Chains A and B, each alone.
Chain A
Amino acid sequence: MKFNFRVSPNYRSPLSTQRVMWEVTGAISVVLAFAVFYYFTELGTDYGVHALLMILTSLTVAIGTEVLWALFYKKNIVKHLNSSFPWVIALIFVGTMSINRPLYVSAISVFAGVFFGKLVFGGFGHNIFNPAGVGRAVAALSFSGFVTNKFADVVTGATANQVMQGLGWVITKPEAVDSFLNQFGGLTNLALGLYPASIGETSSVLLLIVGIYLSVRKIIDWKVPVTFIGSIFIFTYAIALFKGMGVWYPIFHVVSGGAMYAAVFMITDPVTTPTSSIGRILFAMGVAIFVVIIRIKANLPEGVVYGILFMNMLSPLLDQITDGWVYKEMKKYTIQIGTLFVAGLAVILLVASQISYNEPVVVTEPVVTVNLKGEPVVISEQTSPTALIVSETADGDVTTFVVNINGYAFQSDHSDDPKPNTLEVKINTATKVIVSVSYITFSDSKNIGDKTDSDVFLSQFVGISIVDDTASVDVVSSATITSHSVVKAVNAAIAAALD
């Protein structure tokens, strides 16, 4: 018979840190799975696959980094992973990224988050900064311009916060409000998340459900997201009243820029937030204040991430100022919350008094029409590109021509490594009509020539008779040279077809 000694109590809650982390893992997985599903079904396989690859890359890098760490310090790998939870960082990080980021950006950022954000501080439980937040900040600061060419359409368009940034974070003209919101399909659509945004905030409604689930399961403290979202709402509603805007403004702040995502998954991170209930409330309110100020004044759409990282630094201080015998400190706590609220509101209104509406300048360029068979207007010596027919394959009546043509980048040498664009022109040789024109590869300058890769422009060619000498298309304004190059390529195909 063995009688042991162990300090009391000898009774333990079934809830373990491992289970807490697995429940968070499950919750974030649901959010990411919905996003991947959305990308697959609404935007196409390319997007879905890329989203999956981003998740996979992040997971691999995060877990790989920790495995190497464990090997280096000769720890049991399984035991280390089971008390370190790197995959949670990876998944939360991916949720903060937008789909158009190349995989290596995810890889480098996750590594930075896990290694510099967590391991060097002593690992799980000792890190000061939210590791996923560190990763996101690295991506934002070091790789802001790095986007994949693959997704040169709606999703790479400006996020709602970037558009708002262009407007100066305030819209005082009522008619401009509607047109602003309509870009994203209205407030409801914004809330649903069906607009360009980070992967994790694909649906605010889903985040709300997941947040409630985690709160009910007592995995997260419901007071934290509620204080955070509530504070953002109140502060920005104050700005709205101050600037004469409607209730759409606070709602916009709440549902955009990853606020909901951060509310559920980032500011609830136990390690980097204060330990007392009151400390967490102050923390959440502090992040809200920073988010609003950073958004409207520093004009950074990543306000949420920087707000979290900044408040992470203050967590030890918040722990310190809330120390004491809780039952005797009620008055102190009430004063602390009141003071932070009033101070935050005052600073925010002061900052808000400095912002004003930047009315977008609408440039109405004259529509330039080129005759299809005519020679392109000579803009410079280099603007007479030569079209090169790469291949020609007949399939029944339809012949497909693959044509290489130098675009704007090549001609103006605006790019480090210019390559010709490749177009596919399909012509029905029986009816002598153009069936379709599309890009196979696009190597032209971003945000300039890529405007020609649009239905509006390319569909103009469809149905044009190749024997019609008077046919013409409208060029894309501010992408004139590339438009002309497309015309030239189509012309070459027509010439070959008539041959």
Chain B
Amino acid sequence: MSLLTGPGREHLNGHKDETLHNDIVLVKPKKEVFVPLNNGSSTKVDVYVNEGDKVFVGTLLARRNDHFNVPIYSPVSGVVGAKKNMMHSVLKPQEHLIIEDDGKYEKVESFKPLDYTTATHEELVNFMMEAGIVGCGGAGFPSYLKYKKPENINTLIINAVECEPYITADYRFTKENLEDMLHGVRALLKMSTAPKAIIAIKKSKKELCEQLEEAVKNDSSISVFKTPDVYPMGWERTLVYEYCKKRYNRLPSEIGIIVNNVTTAIAFAQALKYGTGIVEKVVTFSGDGLNNPTNVRVPFGTKISEVVAQIGGYSSEDVLVIAGGPMMGRTIPTDEFVITNYTNAITILKNEKVESIECMRCGRCNDTCPAGLLPVRINNAEQAKDVDLMVKLNADQCIECGLCTYVCPSKIDVTEGVRRAKRVMALRKA
């Protein structure tokens, strides 16, 4: 029915080549890491260590303890320092726990490894929770919740689409950990109770497509699903629609599908095999604001400024530092914030002036909105402060993918208008 609605997606210049072909570079913090004591929007975190305690890589530091249960393991070995309030990639100051890095990286087993082939479903779900596996697509949603009570699941989709421009972390991480990935996919497949798993990847990533196809050719339950090179192909709803031409209301499990990021699968496999939680991350540092765009492997809690300094510095005096990709990532007005355990990219762009002119009502934003919304109408409603119209237009369904601003030929911040509408609606609900 895209005839009546417009395509709901758009090919973007991916700028992937900047980092696609180079090996991952190992980066270490200078002398301390700052472990964010939050998980997503939640700051309800119990801390289990005290200032002066000696910790190792993998020592349980804290645990998110509200309706979700997410442990946080130490990314370095060293001594626990004070707590510090500092800027976080959610664009709000958050409490961070300082750990003085002794540079030795002495490890402890955070938990016992587990053989997924013999483990029960319950054991696997508990293990996943205990390992602190969060969605590595950028949102950091605790993964175990998806597998708690799977019902009528027919397909597990492993999301290796990585549709945001500049980001190649998933690509490099997958390429260098194919074995672990398959291990993780098989474990997730067992937990999902689905008969088959598909690995979704853009068909433009030919090399990895071939490697994946080669890797799964003897496994009839796993196959590779090639998607077009469009944005936001990696968004759960767009991906699910591309795969089975079905839409759902809240969660893909309504139509028998579980989606997990490919890096999550690898992290899970490494937890199963080696008994380690997520303590380091592969992060793409890219964009024209950097001298040497690079994929780095770095303990989480490391400051952006330290990573940038180690990979060759900024190429401009006037930059935008974006936590994430340029489409969905938040601009942070400082580089004094840290990599979290779900960060996959830091994009640094030269600050170029954008001049907007009047909206010409061309409707490109409406045609490309992957959520099926009418962004220009939502903007009009927001300007008129017409809350009823915002409700009618379902502004709260916006995922802020940024495509409406991207396509706007008049260079208007359309997404921001929708964001304001969402806030107004949220306020009214509250």
**Interface, chain A (partner B; CB < 8 A):** 1-13, 15-17, 19-20, 83, 123-126, 221, 223, 270-271, 273-281, 319, 322-328, 330, 333-334, 337
B357 surroundings in chain A (CB, below 8 A): 17, 83, 124-125
A–B pairs, 8, beta carbons within 8 Å: A2-B318, A4-B331, A7-B331, A8-B328, A9-B406, A83-B357, A125-B357, A324-B393
B366 surroundings in chain A (CB, below 8 A): 275-277, 326
Instruction: With both chains docked as a complex, state the minimum distance between the C-beta of B303 and any C-beta of chain A, in angstroms.
Output: 13
B394 surroundings in chain A (CB, below 8 A): 324-325, 328
Q: Are B360 and A13 in contact (CB under 8 A)?
A: no
Given contacts A11-B406, A325-B394, 8 further A-B contacts (CB under 8 A): A7-B331, A7-B419, A10-B326, A15-B407, A20-B409, A125-B361, A277-B363, A319-B377
B344 part of interface (Cβ distance < 8 Å): no
Question: In the complex, A83→B334 CA distance in Å?
Answer: 34
Q: Are A330 and B335 in contact (CB under 8 A)?
A: no
Nearest residue (CB) in A for B413 is A7
Given A9-B326, A277-B366, A326-B374, is A223 in contact with B3 using a C-beta cutoff of 8 Å? yes
B349 surroundings in chain A (CB, below 8 A): 10
- 0/1 per residue, B348-370, Cβ < 8 Å to A? 01010010011111110011010
Given A4-B331, A5-B331, A12-B354, is A324 in contact with B392 using a C-beta cutoff of 8 Å? yes
What are the 6 tightest A-B residue pairs by CB atom distance, in nearest-first order?
A9-B402, A125-B358, A327-B372, A270-B362, A326-B372, A11-B326
Given A274-B363, A327-B372, is A126 in contact with B358 using a C-beta cutoff of 8 Å? yes
B292 part of interface (Cβ distance < 8 Å): no
Instruction: With both chains docked as a complex, state the minimum distance between the C-beta of B231 and any C-beta of chain A, in angstroms.
Output: 9
Q: Are B372 and A15 in contact (CB under 8 A)?
A: no
Instruction: With both chains docked as a complex, state the minimum distance between the C-beta of A311 and any C-beta of chain B, in angstroms.
Output: 14
**Interface, chain B (partner A; CB < 8 A):** 1, 3-6, 10, 12, 165, 247, 314, 317-322, 325-335, 347, 349, 351, 354, 357-363, 366-367, 369, 371-374, 376-377, 389, 392-394, 397, 400, 402-403, 405-411, 413, 415-416, 419
B402 surroundings in chain A (CB, below 8 A): 8-9, 11
Question: In the complex, A271→B361 CA distance in Å?
Answer: 5
Question: In the complex, A124→B374 CA distance in Å?
Answer: 21
Nearest residue (CB) in B for A85 is B360
Contact of B373 among A277, A281, A325 (CB under 8 A): A325
Q: Are B319 and A275 in contact (CB under 8 A)?
A: no
Given A325-B393, A327-B372, A333-B4, is A9 in contact with B409 using a C-beta cutoff of 8 Å? no
Question: In the complex, A425→B320 CA distance in Å?
Answer: 82
Nearest residue (CB) in B for A2 is B318
Question: In the complex, A83→B358 CA distance in Å?
Answer: 8
Given A275-B366, A327-B372, is A11 in contact with B327 using a C-beta cutoff of 8 Å? yes
A124 surroundings in chain B (CB, below 8 A): 357-358, 360
Question: In the complex, A328→B371 CA distance in Å?
Answer: 11
Question: In the complex, A337→B1 CA distance in Å?
Answer: 14
Nearest residue (CB) in A for B91 is A5
Q: Are A278 and B4 in contact (CB under 8 A)?
A: yes
Given A12-B406, A17-B410, is A325 in contact with B377 using a C-beta cutoff of 8 Å? no
Q: Are A8 and B397 in contact (CB under 8 A)?
A: no
Q: Are A2 and B317 in contact (CB under 8 A)?
A: yes
Q: Are A8 and B329 in contact (CB under 8 A)?
A: yes
Nearest residue (CB) in B for A20 is B409
Nearest residue (CB) in A for B330 is A8
Question: In the complex, A90→B77 CA distance in Å?
Answer: 73
Instruction: With both chains docked as a complex, state the minimum distance between the C-beta of B315 and any C-beta of chain A, in angstroms.
Output: 12
Question: In the complex, A124→B392 CA distance in Å?
Answer: 28
Given A8-B402, A9-B405, A325-B394, is A123 in contact with B363 using a C-beta cutoff of 8 Å? no
A12 surroundings in chain B (CB, below 8 A): 354, 405-406, 408, 411
Contact of A8 among B318, B359, B400 (CB under 8 A): B400
Given A270-B363, A277-B367, is A7 in contact with B393 using a C-beta cutoff of 8 Å? no
Nearest residue (CB) in A for B323 is A8
Question: In the complex, A62→B1 CA distance in Å?
Answer: 41
A123, A276, A334 interface centre (most CB from chain B within 10 Å):
A276
B322 surroundings in chain A (CB, below 8 A): 8, 10
Q: Are B373 and A8 in contact (CB under 8 A)?
A: no
A324 surroundings in chain B (CB, below 8 A): 374, 392-394
Instruction: With both chains docked as a complex, state the minimum distance between the C-beta of B357 and any C-beta of chain A, in angstroms.
Output: 4
Question: In the complex, A11→B408 CA distance in Å?
Answer: 11
A83, A326, A328 interface centre (most CB from chain B within 10 Å):
A326
Nearest residue (CB) in B for A280 is B363
Question: In the complex, A338→B377 CA distance in Å?
Answer: 24
Instruction: With both chains docked as a complex, state the minimum distance between the C-beta of B86 and any C-beta of chain A, in angstroms.
Output: 14
Nearest residue (CB) in B for A19 is B409
A223 surroundings in chain B (CB, below 8 A): 3
A274 surroundings in chain B (CB, below 8 A): 363
Question: In the complex, A9→B325 CA distance in Å?
Answer: 9
Contact of B319 among A4, A279, A319, A322 (CB under 8 A): A4
Q: Are B406 and A6 in contact (CB under 8 A)?
A: no
B320 surroundings in chain A (CB, below 8 A): 3-4, 6, 10
Instruction: With both chains docked as a complex, state the minimum distance between the C-beta of B247 and any C-beta of chain A, in angstroms.
Output: 6
Question: In the complex, A11→B287 CA distance in Å?
Answer: 11
Question: In the complex, A450→B327 CA distance in Å?
Answer: 69
Instruction: With both chains docked as a complex, state the minimum distance between the C-beta of B399 and any C-beta of chain A, in angstroms.
Output: 12
Given A271-B361, A325-B393, is A13 in contact with B331 using a C-beta cutoff of 8 Å? no
Question: In the complex, A4→B373 CA distance in Å?
Answer: 30
Instruction: With both chains docked as a complex, state the minimum distance between the C-beta of A119 and any C-beta of chain B, in angstroms.
Output: 13
Instruction: With both chains docked as a complex, state the minimum distance between the C-beta of B135 and any C-beta of chain A, in angstroms.
Output: 19
Nearest residue (CB) in A for B326 is A11
Instruction: With both chains docked as a complex, state the minimum distance between the C-beta of B190 and any C-beta of chain A, in angstroms.
Output: 33
Instruction: With both chains docked as a complex, state the minimum distance between the C-beta of A329 and any C-beta of chain B, in angstroms.
Output: 9
A17 surroundings in chain B (CB, below 8 A): 357, 360, 362, 409-411
Given A7-B413, A12-B406, A17-B410, is A275 in contact with B318 using a C-beta cutoff of 8 Å? no
Nearest residue (CB) in A for B165 is A11
B413 surroundings in chain A (CB, below 8 A): 7
Q: Are A323 and B377 in contact (CB under 8 A)?
A: yes
Instruction: With both chains docked as a complex, state the minimum distance between the C-beta of A210 and any C-beta of chain B, in angstroms.
Output: 19
B314, B377, B419 interface centre (most CB from chain A within 10 Å):
B377
Q: Are A10 and B407 in contact (CB under 8 A)?
A: no
Q: Are B335 and A3 in contact (CB under 8 A)?
A: yes
Nearest residue (CB) in B for A330 is B1
A279 surroundings in chain B (CB, below 8 A): 363
Nearest residue (CB) in B for A123 is B358
Q: Are A10 and B5 in contact (CB under 8 A)?
A: no
A270 surroundings in chain B (CB, below 8 A): 360-363
Given A276-B374, A278-B4, A323-B393, is A4 in contact with B351 using a C-beta cutoff of 8 Å? yes
